[in-house]
Structure 1
Amino acid sequence: MNWTDIQQWESAPLQTYAAECDSNQRKLQSVGEALASPLNSLTGSGQTVKAAKAALRKQITAIEKEVNFLISSAEIASEGAQGINEVRANADDAKQLAQSWNMTIDSSGNVSIDAAQVKRLKKAGKNILDIKYMVDTAQKRVNTALTQAQKLVDSLSQKLASLEAGTFDNHVHYSTTIKSRPTLPPAGASAQENASWWNSLSDDDKQWMINQHPDIIGNLEGVDYTSRNQANRIMLPRLQKQAKEELDAFVAKMNPHMSGPEFEEFMRLSARVKALDEIDKTLKRDSDGVPRFLMQLDASGPNILAAVSQNNPDDADHIGVIVPGMTTSVAGSIQEYDGHAKVMREAAEKAAGPGQKVAMVEFFGYDAPPGVLEASNTDMAQAGAKKLSGFLTGIDAAREHGAGDAHITVAAHSYGSTTAGIAATLVGDGVIDDLVQFGSPGSGVQDVAEFHVPEGHTYVSAAPYLEDVVQGLGPDDSFGKNPTKMPGYKHLSGKTVPTSLMPLFDKHSSYFRKDTQANRDIASVIGGKPNV
């Protein structure tokens, strides 16, 4: 596997093949069900009846075998398509960086820059440390792409061999005559594999999986959000009851005077109870006529994580994902951000125009820094970026196997903008269509070519610096460069609210304010018609 090889890879043929397999297996399932009906209705023990039953069983068995083959083929092709998109995203990054900085990538994937080019770059104002960083970054991207490519080839080869041998487990186990329930996909399955698996299930089997495994289906990337919402709403009251019992049990065994660690645990358990109650209240806000979808409900960690959408992401034309920053949490912020999402959604709907549906997501699927100390580094941004990139990849996969591709915009504020910037370097090609960062302490990168976002689709909104000094506040080497000063960004309006008596921070949280030009400009990107 070398650099030249992966330049020829394209995911589109595999995506098309997966879709064809899905379509054909559904048609065959209908035929199989139609044949099973007369088989069950045939009675008697005569030779004619026996011969008819044998003929029908033979046809049904052949159909069952072909359906399972098509389901398996679709899953494997889907894995290949997502894998290629991830490989190509890193490969394209490396090529863009090489072009921007006059580097060379040879057929084996070695990145180099000659002395003459270094001299030209230095004359153009480039710092030698920046040049070295970009060479190292490009080499890292090349190495990542090559490693991903080899792992993908090995995985697909193994699965194709299993398919040929008849031992591949598609976790659907389709049969018209032997009613067996599907099994959950393996923990390491990709969002595309999950989407293909879920799409292959009958409506009855989907409902069975939701009822039996709501904790897993509600957070399984690649599953549609109508189903995930149903599963998460099953889990919500269960988790509320469990959290309250855990808090009551903790309080019952505590002494009147808690130690420091004990008080911290008491506060954490109290926050879990409050977080679940706040989610419940947010979902009940649908009395405004806009349905809320509980896209994610993750209670596996120390804190409750969640994502709520206004309108259904399954059929929206435009999906905006708001990523909040420092001091935000489900317990303390989700209702506030539901208000922000409402303002942003309504403005995006105006920008998109009649007939265009906008789903606005409040993403609380990562642990944001609770204070300045934790926000002084990017540890939580790095961890959050992995969760955000997986979440976005799940939306993309669910739509590809559902209503079709949607326009996805990530609109990220403050520390969340750094988290989102890093996440935009982790997703595959075609996942994020537009990235908007506002009130940003750092972009998360040193060059926009590091983003897996189409060229010309990165935006920044910034209030005047002395009214939002968080902008560019993080060190460049860890937080990334200030997006307000980086080439490659399109600049949206930074006009928000009038300045008050706290000018240094007054406008940092004002980008969500209704009817401000900054809000309208950010929403215009979400609605697919940027005001630039």
Structure 2
Amino acid sequence: MLLIAAALLTASMHSLGVVEAPVAPAVHSVAAPTSSVTLVVDTSPARPVMTGVQMTAEDLAVAHGRTFLVDLSRLDRSALTRAETDRRVLATTQDDPPSAADVTTWWAGLGVDERRLLESAAPSVVGNLEGVPYDVRDRANRSVLAADLADPSIGAARTAMLGQVQQSLVHDPGAPRRNLITLDTRGSGRAAIAIGDLATAADVTVVVPGMFFTVTGQMTDFTNTANDLYSEQATLAGVAAPGSGSGVAVVAWMGYRTPDLSNILSLGLAKTGAERLERAVDGLRQLRDGEQPRVNIVAHSYGSTTALMALSSGRMSADTLTVLGSPGSDVQTSSELSVGAGQVFVGDAHSDPIAGSGYFGTDPGSSTFGSTVLDLAGGADAEDAGDVFRRPVGHNDYLKPGTASLHDVALIAVGRGDLVREELRRGEGGKDGVPQTSPDMYLVRPQDLHPRD
């Protein structure tokens, strides 16, 4: 049934019309010859030091971890320019990068001129390393975007993808600036755009998309959806829980390849996406060391499976998790998740054929999971009777303006999950009086599946 649901979702979506201060590698020194030899290994983070050794782009292409950062710092402009277009270097940057902790320490130890050189000569690298400040990454990625769009040889498909990213960065006068914090131009592409200031926001929400979302097809729409959530959160400043920092920030995180009809039945992309999500959140936490924001994950459809994997890995934590239209995962209960106590929320809209299906395992909205199932029936706000919200309908209606679900997600993201209304949890087979939500396609209208108006 998931394939049938996926096919209808596809059809409906298509109907929408440094020579300076180089850095030494990790030191391996051997004691003076005696009766025994002692190997001393330097395990401290990568840091700039003076050295006369000059590295090449070829050296960088085979380096990994802290060594990658060390070698990167030792390239002159010519070598950096060559490295910028080396597929192996880009693959390391995007797919197997150094840890955010090492990157943060390394970047802090660089001089101003070294940073400028790296940003100007190797923007594709600097713009995608978790642990580099977000304003630097935004500048670097925008320069790559502009240069590629000005290149007539990149082809129609890549031009279309980058055009979507460019359009996604446009904001209304007076609205917060949008920062391009991830840009992977390989293949079908990946991107992440932050609305608000990630360096100072008290509340940071990362929105993870589900199946059929691509940079070329939905990046602009997805970023506008993140902006809708940002705007809803901003209206709740008066009731927001205290936090470290001020204001809110929302990330439209299309940082992984989502499945299409050819691979919707596999969890491979969710696993890869979970690893990328872990790195993205770790980057935020490293940069905000000492002043941690409230981190909220909002995940839709297959994205919820991805987020559940990440939060059960032991390598990532969040203050809240909200899953919308989830097909489930192999996580059995909320106790397996590194999420604040009582801070797992589930949204199941009327006529959503995916929500509650448990296709990939346990339904997070089941009575045994330990989550709060949101009452999305709509109506007047419990705190302000002047606000009336409508019920979301279908699989892609959750974050539309005016819905009860968008309002609830915003409340949760500003630390006020205590204000959302709870629905009865589902038991096995719907035995607790709530009809079991399963993929019954006879109840789904094509118009319910449109991502946005």
Shorter-normalised TM range: 0.5 to 0.7
Pick one of 322, 326, 343 that aligns with 1:436.
322
How is 1:120-135 mapped onto 2 (pairs within 5 angstroms)? Answer: none
| DSSP 3-state at the match of 1:161 | strand
SS across alignment from 1:322: strand
Using the alignment, how far apart are the partners of 1:404 and 1:471 within structure 2?
Answer: 36
Shift of 1:489: 0.7
Which residue is 2:264 aligned to?
375
Query: Where in structure 2 are the equivalents of 1:194-273 lying within 5 Å?
Result: 194-242=103-151, 244-247=152-155, 270-273=156-159
Query: Is the partner of 2:345 in helix, strand or coil?
Result: strand
Structure 1 residue 183: deviation in Å?
A: 4.7
Q: CA deviation at 1:294?
A: 0.3
Larger radius of gyration between Structure 1 and Structure 2: 1
SS at match of 1:507: coil
Taking structure 1 as reference, are residues 188 and 343 closer, same or farther at Cα in structure 2, changes over 3 Å only? closer
Q: Look up the match of 2:236.
A: 351
Identity within the alignment, %: 29
Is 1:162 paired with 2:49? no
2:135 aligned counterpart, secondary structure: helix
- Given the two structures, how large is their TM-score scaled by the length of structure 1? 0.57
Q: Give the AA of the match of 1:215.
A: S
Query: Secondary structure, in 3 states, of the residue corresponding to 2:296?
Result: strand
Q: Deviations over 1:228-270 (max 9, x none)?
A: 111111111223345x5142xxxxxxxxxxxxxxxxxxxxxx4
**What is the DSSP-based 3-state SS (H/G/I as helix, E as strand, rest coil) of the residue aligned with 1:285?**
coil
Q: How does 1:330-409 map to 2 (within 5 A)?
A: 330-353=215-238, 356-371=246-261, 373-400=262-289, 404-409=291-296
Q: Specify every segment of 5 or more residues in structure 2 that has no aligned partner in the other structure, as ranges.
A: 1-20, 27-38, 56-68, 74-91, 379-388, 421-453
**Separation (CA, whole Å) in 2 of partners of 1:517 and 1:506:** 11
Per the TM alignment, residue 494 of structure 1 is displaced from its structure 2 partner at its CA by 2.2
Tell me if the contact between 1:218 and 1:228 (Cα under 8 Å) persists in the aligned partners: yes
From 458, 461, 469, give the equivalent of 2:353.
469
Q: Does 1:414 align with 2:322?
A: no
Distance apart, 1:288 and its partner CA = 4.5
Asked if the contact 1:296/1:306 (under 8 Å) is kept, the reply is yes
Deviations 1:67-89 (A, max 9, x none): x99xx9xxxxxxxxxxxxxxxxx
Distance 2:224 2:294 in 1: 22
- Partner amino acid, structure 2, of 1:196: T
Q: Secondary structure at the match of 2:129?
A: coil
Q: Give the whole-Å Cα distance in 2 for the aligned partners of 1:388 and 1:450.
A: 18
- Deviation digits for residues 434-487 of structure 1 (CA, Å, limit 9, x no counterpart): 1110111114512222222233221112224xx112113243xxx231111143
Report what 1:173 is aligned to.
Answer: 49
Distance 2:200 2:109 in 1: 19
Contact 2:353–2:394 (8 Å) recurs in 1: no
Counterpart of 1:12 in structure 2 is none
- Structure 1 residue 306, shift from structure 2 partner: 0.3
CA distance in 2, matches of 1:419, 1:396: 20
In structure 1, the residue matched to 2:335 is 449
Provide the rounded CA distance (Å) in 2 between the counterparts of 1:378 and 1:325.
12
Conserved 8 A contact 1:225-1:314? yes
Q: How many Å apart are 1:416 and its aligned residue?
A: 1.0
- Partner residue, 1:289: 175
- Report if the CA contact (8 A) 2:209-2:303 is conserved: yes
- 1:107 alignment partner in structure 2: none
Query: Which of 358, 362, 368 is the matching residue for 1:481?
Result: 362
Deviation digits for residues 338-372 of structure 1 (CA, Å, limit 9, x no counterpart): 2211211111122343884111110111111123x
Separation in structure 2 between the aligned mates of residue 394 and residue 494 of structure 1, nearest angstrom = 33
- Tell me what 2:98 maps to: 189
8 Å Cα contact 2:46/2:105 also seen in 1 = no
CA contact (8 A) 1:424 1:453 kept: yes
Q: Say if 1:518 and 1:359 are closer, same or farther in 2 by CA, change over 3 A.
A: same
Change in 2 beyond 3 A, CA 1:423/1:239:
farther
Partner Cα distance (1:194, 1:308) in 2: 20
Secondary structure of the structure 1 residue equivalent to 2:162: helix
Find the residue that maps to 1:172 and give its secondary structure: coil
Alpha-carbon distance, 1:427 to partner: 5.2
Partner Cα distance (2:130, 2:410) in 1: 26
The answer as to 2:211 corresponding to 1:323 is no
Residues 190 and 340 (structure 1), Cα distance of their counterparts in 2 relative to 1, 3 Å cut: same
**Helix, strand or coil for the counterpart of 2:171?**
helix
Report the residue type matching 1:484 in the other structure. Answer: G
| Distance in 2 between residues matched to 1:399 and 1:203, nearest whole Å | 21
Question: Structure 1: how far apart are the matches of 2:375 and 2:115?
Answer: 46
Q: Which amino acid aligns with 1:344?
A: L
Aligned pairs, number? 337
Give CA-to-partner distance per residue, 1:11-43, whole Å, 9 cap, x none.
xxxxxxxxxxxxxxxxxxxxxxxxxxxxxxxxx
Give the Cα separation in 1 of the matches to 2:403 and 2:390. Answer: 10
When residues 169 and 313 of structure 1 are mapped into structure 2, their CA distance, relative to the original with a 3 A threshold, is: closer
**Contact 1:376–1:474 (Cα < 8 Å) also in 2:** no
Counterpart contact for 1:349–1:356, Cα < 8 Å: no
Displacement of 1:295 after TM fit?
0.7
Aligned equivalents of 2:282 and 2:264: distance in 1? 26
Is the CA contact (8 Å cut-off) linking 2:390 and 2:403 kept in structure 1? no
Unaligned runs of 5+ in 1: 1-63, 73-159, 248-269, 500-504
Relative to structure 1, is the Cα distance of residues 495 and 444 closer, same or farther in structure 2, using a 3 angstrom cutoff? farther
Judged with a 3 Å threshold, the aligned counterparts in structure 2 of structure 1 residues 362 and 369 are, in CA distance, closer, same or farther, namely same
Does the 8 A contact of 2:333 with 2:364 survive in 1?
A: no
- SS for the counterpart of 2:292 is coil
* 2:225–2:399 Cα contact (<8 Å) kept: yes
**Kept in 2: contact 1:439–1:461 (CA 8 A):** yes
AA matched with 1:234: S
Aligned partner of residue 252 in structure 2, secondary structure? strand
- Paired AA for residue 236 in structure 1: L
